[in-house]
Amino acid sequence: MPYSNARIKITNLRLRTYIGFNEEEKVKQQDIVINAEIHYPAGEAFASDQVDQALNYKVITKKIIRHVEEGRFLLLEKLVADVVAICSENPSVELARVTIDKPHALRFADSVSLTLEYAKHSALKEAG
């Protein structure tokens, strides 16, 4: 049976980091919420049931946690781009989409979020 890409979803990963350029933001960690989706061809994993044929979401999540918790970011754009890069490190990744929310960024809003996406073949699609 043919399968399309597998989709790994990391949902509501809640972390704290230094994010922002205001003086208060530079000295006090803030809550962020990360949602990531990673697409990769998993046909070999389906067929073999072998761990080394699958994308290891635990390894990816630990890298994200380490990077976010140890980092300092002026812009949400930089943080999201870094997490997208971590999610798309493996050469088999076809697409990685990351949204990061700053729940306390605006006084009268639940959250502010930014989404970025990596698509392996997007440059080819745009040129054609």
Q: At the top level of CATH, which class does the domain 6-127 belong to?
A: alpha beta
> How many CB atoms are closer than 10 A to CB 51?
8
Q: CB-hemisphere CA count at 13 Å for 34?
A: 31
> Model-level pTM?
0.87
DSSP secondary structure letters along 101-119: EETTSSTTSS-EEEEEEEE
Report the Cα–Cα distance between both ends of the chain, in Å, rounded.
31
- Higher-confidence residue of 127 and 31: namely 31
At 125, the pLDDT band (50, 70, 90 cuts) reads very low
Would you kindly state where each structural domain of the chain is located, as residue ranges?
Answer: 6-127
pLDDT exceeds 50 at position 128: no
Q: Among residues of the chain, what percentage have pLDDT more than 70?
A: 83
pLDDT exceeds 90 at position 31: yes
